Amino acid sequence: MFTCRFWEDLIFVYFYTTHLAKLMLGEISAGLGLGVLPVIGSYFVQTGFYSMQALVASIPAGILTFNLLFLNEFPDYNADKRAGRKNFVILLGKKIAARLYSAISIFNYIFIGMSIIAGYLPYTALLAFLTLPEAIKAIKGATINYDNIVKLIPSLGSNVKTVLGTQFLLAISFIIARFLGI
């Protein structure tokens, strides 16, 4: 029997190239299908219910996945445009898109911090801020080198490190919080 997770993956994978990437929904569908929904779904499978904490914890994963695809679209600008794709980089142009990428990157850390203050994330989630220096490298590189693919490559690497590192540290923060009983 197929699970709900299978069907959501199938929908996002099948329709990504044929529809979603041509309707300005590529980045959003990636953030949902590879970020928010897997976190909420995993929580539900393990607990049998949904919670506000699970929803809040899923949002950074969605933002980070959105931003991973977003920055990776810069080198593909011309090919995507020729292929009829519509994404934020094509809509806004590279310079403005680089600023949006930077704002979203910063917002993710603000969201994590505010979620800790509001009590939705344990204070151990402060571990996620260990990736901030790598995020700053990606932001600086994107805002300076948005139109130079070769010089943008280190920023793409920093972005991947930020995405994977932040999500890993958030996961570890929940394990530590559980171990500490907080």
Mean pLDDT, all residues of the chain: 89
Mean pLDDT of 64-84: 92
Which is more confidently placed, 171 or 13? 171
Question: What pLDDT sits at residue 13?
Answer: 64
Q: How far apart are CA 174 and CA 42, in angstroms?
A: 14
Tell me which amino acid residue 142 is: A
By the 10 Å C-beta count (0-12 exposed, 13-18 middle, 19+ buried), 121 is classed as buried
Q: How far apart are CA 21 and CA 84, in angstroms?
A: 9
CA distances from 58 to 11, 14, 23, 31, 52 (A): 20, 23, 24, 10, 10
Question: What pLDDT sits at residue 72?
Answer: 94
pTM of the model: 0.87
**H or E, element range at 103:** helix 94-117
Which is more confidently placed, 139 or 25? 139
Mean pLDDT of 61-90: 92
Which of 55-64, 82-91, 125-134, 144-153 is predicted least confidently? 82-91
Tokens of 71: 């920055």
pLDDT at 1 over 50: no
pLDDT winner (highest mean) among 1-5, 35-39, 152-156: 152-156
pLDDT at 68 over 60: yes
| Spacing of C-alpha 44 from chain mean position | 21
> Do 4 and 50 form a contact (C-beta atoms < 8 A)?
no
